[in-house]
Amino acid sequence: MERGPAGALEVRVVPPSHLEEVLREFGSERFKCNARNVDYLQAFEGEYSVGLLGLEWSAGGTVWLWGPEINQRENAAPQVAKSLLIEANHQIKQKQISHAQVLLNSSQLTESGWYREVGYDKVVSLELLVRPISSDEAAPDVSPVKPVCHFRYTAKHHARFAKTLAACYEESEDCLAANRQSEPEKSLADYRDTAFFDPALWFLFQSGNTDFGCLLMTHDTSEALLEIVYLGLSPSFRGRGFGHWAAAMAISEAKRLHCRQLTVAVDTQNTAARGLYAHWGFWCFASKSVHIWTP
Alpha-carbon Rg for the chain in angstroms: 21
Per-residue pLDDT averaged across 125-130, rounded? Answer: 96
Q: pTM for the full model?
A: 0.88
Give Cβ neighbours of residue 136 (< 8 Å, ≥ 6 apart). Answer: none
- H or E element that contains 62: strand 62-70
- pLDDT at position 148 is 82
129-287 matches 9-120 in CATH topology:
yes
pLDDT digits (tens, 9 = 90+) for 11-57: 999 998 888 888 888 875 555 555 568 899 999 998 889 999 999 99
- pLDDT at position 174 is 73
Per-residue pLDDT averaged across 91-102, rounded? Answer: 92
Give Cβ neighbours of residue 90 (< 8 Å, ≥ 6 apart). Answer: none
Of the listed ranges 144-148, 199-203, 237-241, the one predicted with least confidence: 144-148
Rounded Cα distance between 293 and 61, Å, is 13
Q: Starting from the edge strand earliest in sequence, which strands make up the sheet with 149-152, in order?
A: 9-13, 38-45, 48-57, 62-70, 99-105, 283-293, 122-132, 261-267, 225-233, 210-220, 202-207, 149-152
Domain ranges, ordered by start, for the chain = 9-120, 129-287
For residue 7, what pLDDT band results from cuts at 50, 70 and 90? low
* Separation in Å, CA 164 to CA 64, 143, 205, 212: 25, 22, 9, 6
pLDDT digits (tens, 9 = 90+) for 171-227: 887 766 555 656 888 889 988 888 899 999 999 999 988 999 999 999 999 999 999
CATH number of 9-120: 3.40.630.30
Domain 129-287 has what CATH class?
Answer: alpha beta
